[in-house]
Structures are given as C-alpha cells and as structure tokens.
Copies of this chain bind each other. A is one copy, B any other.
Amino acid sequence: MEKTNKNVMDDNTQKVVKQIFTEYLNQHGHRKTPERYAILETIYNQDGHFDIDELYSKMVETVHFRVSRSTIYNTIDLLIDANLLIRHQFGNSSQYEKKYNMHTHHHKICTKCGKVMEFENKELQKVIENTQLGDFNLSHYSLVVYGVCKCCGEE
C-alpha cells in the first residue's frame, strides 16, 4: 500500500492560488463568480486525484455548494489554462490533480485492481526534463507505469 500526498493545502496556498486565479480571470476578461472560487477551493482542500463526478459529489455533499456539472467542466478548463490544475487520462474518465506547489511525481497503476499510486524520483524527473525534443516546446509530461501491485501480486 502506497501513501498519497497527505499535505492538505494550508491557508497560504489557498490564498495564493486564489490570487493566481483572480489574475488569470482578470487578464482574460472572465468574471469572478462564486462558483469558480468554490470549485478552486474545493480542489485545493483535497489531495490526490479526482474526476468530475467525485468533485461534483464532494461539492454537493461535503462543501454544500451546489454547482452544475457544466460549470465544473467550464471552470476546470479555466484552471488548466491558468496552470493550476493537471488533467490525466488514466481510465475512461479524465482524472484531475491540483498543480500549484506540488512535487513533480509519476504514477503507477495496477492493471489488476486499477489503483493509482504516486511515486517520486528525482533522477527520472531530471532525465525527462532534459530530453531533447527538437522543435517542441515542453509544457508538462505524464509518466504512467503499469504493473501488478503488492496486494494483487500475492494471489
């Protein structure tokens, strides 16, 4: 069993990402709606990966802020553009992950149970970032390693 990052974002991170988002919205002529900030706050108050449905449920049930799925999709696109969120394409649905102030990490996925685990490896990170890509302007990358995890391998 692998641990996911347990550092729930502190108040300062919340403050900073709100500032970044506000600046982004201003620069792009978008409105600063309460829905958008509620979504940003919910995302930065949790750890690990989530999909749209999980975020929707969390907002309705836990945060008690009712937004439509359309608004979530809309806001997620803005957050990705604002560099505050990463989209992964693990399974059938897109998985998202906050980006600001996060350690670079990679993912292991168990092909039996589907569990997604994170791991860090500085050397790997360095080599990938230094790779020659020709006329290609790198913005980010995603390394996913597939295999069988401890639990599933014990069968």
A residues apposed to B, CB below 8 Å: 2, 89-91, 108, 110-111, 117, 119, 121, 123-124, 127-128, 131-150, 153
Contact = CB atoms under 8 A, between A and B. Distances in A.
Nearest to A117: B136
Q: With a 10 A CB-CB cut-off, give which of A90, A124, A138, A146 has the most chain B CB atoms.
A: A146
A143 B146 contact: no
A139 B124 contact: no
Contacts of A134: 2, 119, 150
B131 A137 contact: no
Contacts of A148: 136-137, 139
Contact of A121 (B119, B131, B144): B131
A3 to B, nearest CB: 12
A87 to B, nearest CB: 10
A140 to B, nearest CB: 5
